[in-house]
């Protein structure tokens, strides 16, 4: 190990550090060491493990706080068009994903509808633009727009959204239970 600058009042630091990110092909899961509790209360899972076991574009909840969810999505190929009445956000956790956005002429959802739904066929409306995401990039999926993801190779998205009709719940399969 090489040493870097002298630290204040102590030893030295390394000259360089490696940041550990995970991916579909390379993740190392931690866990809950129970002392006096129930492991299920922590709903411990791993985004990449969930996506590795999912079909393309399935929206699998990995976290839930009342109506709000975080979903792990395996990005592979071309997704359907979807829309929500509220803002959603997508973080690319692995791979490269393109987002196409269309401003819908008329939303099929009520203004207070929660969660996203699929849009039948091609969305009617103006093209808003396109976003090219790589690992670590976060995109806004604006309320009232339709969005479609494209990923040439398997990748992973983490969605910040509200639970909807297509949110999948597999807690017993994905979480540490003991």
Partner 1 sequence: MTVADVVRSTAPNSEGYFEFTLGEFHFRRDEYFVYISWPTGSHMMSVDAFLRAMQRDVAWDFFYGTVNFDGVFGTVNHYGTVDIFAGRFNDSYRKAELDYSENHETPAIRETFKSILADWTNAAFDPFASPHETGAAFGIKNGDNDSAVTRRRIAASRMVAVPGDEEIRTDESGFPVNRMFLDVDQSEPVVEFEPGFEGEVAAFNLFAYLSRSDVTWNPSVVSQCKDSLFCPTTEEYILPIIHGNDRVEWFVQLSDEITWAVEDRDTGAMRSRVTMKAGDVAAMPADIRHQGYSPKRSMLLVWENNSSAIPDLIASGKLPTYPIEF
Structure tokens at 159: 């969605």
Choosing from 53, 78, 80, 86, the residue that interacts with partner 1 (CB under 8 A) is: 86
Choosing from 54, 76, 81, 88, the residue that interacts with partner 1 (CB under 8 A) is: 88
For residue 80, the minimal CB distance to partner 1 (Å) is: 20
For residue 97, the minimal CB distance to partner 1 (Å) is: 10
For residue 121, the minimal CB distance to partner 1 (Å) is: 21
> Do residues 54 and 48 lie in contact, with contact meaning Cβ atoms separated by under 8 Å?
no
Number of residues counted as binding partner 1 (CB under 8 A): 76
- The half-sphere exposure of 158 on its side-chain side, counting CA atoms within 13 A, is 19
Choosing from 78, 113, 118, 175, the residue that interacts with partner 1 (CB under 8 A) is: 175
Choosing from 56, 78, 80, 160, the residue that interacts with partner 1 (CB under 8 A) is: 160
Residue with tokens 């494209």: 150
Query: Could you say which residues in the range 99-158 bind partner 1, by CB under 8 A?
Result: 99, 101, 103, 126-140, 142, 145, 158
> Do residues 146 and 117 lie in contact, with contact meaning Cβ atoms separated by under 8 Å?
no
User: CA-CA distance, 99 to 166, in Å (whole number)?
Assistant: 19
The alpha carbon of 86 is separated from its chain's Cα centroid by a whole number of angstroms, namely 17
168 part of the interface to partner 1, by CB under 8 A:
no
Contacts of 75 (CB under 8 A, 6+ apart): 56, 57, 92, 95, 97, 149, 151, 154, 155, 156, 157
Choosing from 41, 55, 110, 111, the residue that interacts with partner 1 (CB under 8 A) is: 41
For residue 18, the minimal CB distance to partner 1 (Å) is: 6
């Amino acid at each position: 190990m090489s040493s870097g600058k002298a630290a204040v009042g102590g030893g030295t630091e390394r000259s360089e550090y490696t940041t550990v990110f995970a991916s579909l092909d390379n993740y190392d899961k931690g866990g809950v060491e129970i002392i006096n509790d129930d492991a299920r209360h922590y709903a411990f899972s791993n985004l990449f493990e969930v996506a590795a076991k999912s079909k393309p574009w399935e929206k699998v909840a990995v976290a839930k706080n009342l109506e709000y969810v975080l979903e792990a999505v395996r990005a592979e190929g071309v997704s359907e068009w979807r829309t929500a009445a509220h803002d959603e956000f997508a973080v690319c956790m692995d791979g490269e994903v393109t987002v196409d956005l269309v401003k819908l002429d008329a939303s099929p959802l009520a203004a207070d509808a929660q969660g996203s739904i699929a849009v039948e066929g091609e969305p009617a409306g103006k093209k808003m633009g396109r976003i090219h995401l790589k690992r670590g990039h976060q995109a806004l999926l604006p309320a009232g727009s339709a969005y479609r993801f494209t990923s040439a190779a398997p990748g992973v998205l983490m969605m910040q959204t509200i639970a909807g009709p297509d949110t999948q719940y597999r807690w017993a399969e994905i979480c540490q239970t003991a």
